Homo-oligomer: A and B are copies of this chain.
Amino acid sequence: MSDSLTIAAPADFHVHLRQGEFAAFLAPYVRKGGFKLAYVMPNLRPPIANTEEALLYRAQLQAADPSIDYLMTLYLSPELTPEEIRKAKRAGVVGVKSYPRGVTTNSDGGIESYEAYYSVFEAMEQEDMVLNLHGEVPSDASTNTCVLNAEPAFLPHLRKLHARFPCLRIVLEHATTRAAVECVKSLGDTVACTITAHHLALTVDDWAGQSWHFCKPVAKYPDDRQALRDVIKEGHPRFFLGSDSAPHPPHTKSTASPLHACAAGVYTSAILLPLVAHLLESFGALDRLEGFVSTYGRAFYRVPASDADKVIIRRVSGKLVDEQLVQGEQSVVPFWAGKEIAWEIGDS
């Protein structure tokens, strides 16, 4: 077993960096977690709905940590037009994120039907922009739809979009089910899939009664987790890391009140590369680390790695993940808090 590994510039193709002071606190942890590329989610309050807002948001993030390459996305909403897509492309915006209405943090303005956006998708296909899908349908007791089967129920939408826009690059984000893995594998090379670190560790048992492990999509059955692990172990190039690292102030994660659910999200950015190495090694896939965290996603997104951005990780023993990260009045609790982790970022 190696005691250190050199990884081509890691890239996190799905991360929530929040806004304001919380963002200023969080952005530097992306780099501390081993990443200099962050594909930034647009679900702020209000959402990043147009090019101007995306550029302003990027400028704020650059002020917080100028060393990171922020790839920006827009929030799919009626405000988005084919003209705006072309403008966004010229300004360097990379993708558009679709949230079904009401399924996760700040998705109240999410979409209800895709047909209304076909002209936008056509423009995205022409401009070679990426469509990022939060692949869940809203819960509906009358159809037996709940957080457990919301992802499989979404997959027909993915198939339909891919059939209608075969050249549009689509990413099914944070897949959590065997059904999603098999669906993406069955589709063409323009369809990829991100997998988070925490979904490689958790099953439903881990968030039952443990709100710190609660995120959307929720972790599913052990067999679903196995499917995620297997597709990584297989080294499938259309499955790569998108951490969905989703920080929340600690008081919103601890369910002190019986009247309100806690915020959905697991925060992994600050320990991301060591954590992914730790988890991949746990199921015998450490040899796929570079592909999963760097080369596969970079190939799909067409953002080559710079040799200068290689990262070294080294094996460590007895190291525990911090129980909390604090700076002034800002704080966040990382995933794996207080648990032993077998890798750390080395000197580059």
Are B258 and A212 in contact (CB-based, < 8 A)? yes
Main secondary structure of the interface of A (DSSP, over half): loop
| A102-149, CB < 8 A from B | 139, 141-142, 144-149
- Which single residue of chain B is at the shortest CB-CB distance from A212? B258
Given contacts A141-B203, A255-B254, contact A261 B148 (CB under 8 A): no
Are A218 and B208 in contact (CB-based, < 8 A)? yes
- Residues in B with CB closer than 8 Å to A141 are 203, 222, 225-226
Given contacts A209-B262, A210-B262, A323-B258, contact A222 B144 (CB under 8 A): yes
Are B146 and A221 in contact (CB-based, < 8 A)? yes
| A196-228, CB < 8 A from B | 203-205, 207-212, 214, 218, 221-223, 225-226
- Which single residue of chain B is at the shortest CB-CB distance from A264? B209
What is the CA–CA distance of A141 and B142 in the complex, to the nearest angstrom?
30
Check A263 for interface membership: any CB of B closer than 8 A: yes
What is the CA–CA distance of A226 and B144 in the complex, to the nearest angstrom?
9
A146, A226, A254, A338: which has the most chain B beta carbons within 10 Å? A146
Give a binary string over A243-267; 1 marks a CB under 8 Å from any B CB, 0 the rest.
Answer: 0000000000111101111111000
| A298-348, CB < 8 A from B | 323, 333, 337-338
- Which single residue of chain B is at the shortest CB-CB distance from A141? B222
Are B256 and A256 in contact (CB-based, < 8 A)? yes
- Residues in B with CB closer than 8 Å to A214 are 208-209
Given contacts A210-B262, A255-B209, A337-B259, contact A221 B323 (CB under 8 A): no
- Residues in B with CB closer than 8 Å to A258 are 210, 212, 253, 323, 333, 337-338
- Residues in B with CB closer than 8 Å to A226 are 141
Given contacts A144-B221, A146-B221, contact A207 B208 (CB under 8 A): yes
- Which single residue of chain B is at the shortest CB-CB distance from A218? B208
Number of copies: 2
Are A261 and B146 in contact (CB-based, < 8 A)? no
Are A212 and B148 in contact (CB-based, < 8 A)? no
Partner of A211 from the list B146, B255, B264 (CB cut-off 8 Å) is B255
Partner of A147 from the list B142, B208, B253 (CB cut-off 8 Å) is B208
Are A255 and B204 in contact (CB-based, < 8 A)? no
Given contacts A210-B261, A211-B255, A264-B209, contact A146 B337 (CB under 8 A): no
Q: How far is the CB of A54 from chain B (nearest CB, A)?
A: 29
Are B338 and A146 in contact (CB-based, < 8 A)? no
- Which single residue of chain B is at the shortest CB-CB distance from A149? B221
Given contacts A141-B222, A222-B141, A255-B254, contact A209 B261 (CB under 8 A): yes
Q: Can you list 18 contacts pairing A with B, beta carbon distance less than 8 Å?
A: A139-B205, A141-B203, A141-B222, A141-B225, A146-B204, A148-B221, A207-B209, A208-B218, A209-B214, A209-B261, A209-B263, A210-B262, A211-B211, A253-B258, A254-B254, A255-B262, A259-B323, A259-B337
Are B205 and A147 in contact (CB-based, < 8 A)? yes
Are A204 and B148 in contact (CB-based, < 8 A)? yes
- Which single residue of chain B is at the shortest CB-CB distance from A254? B256
- Residues in B with CB closer than 8 Å to A223 are 144
Q: How far is the CB of A157 from chain B (nearest CB, A)?
A: 20
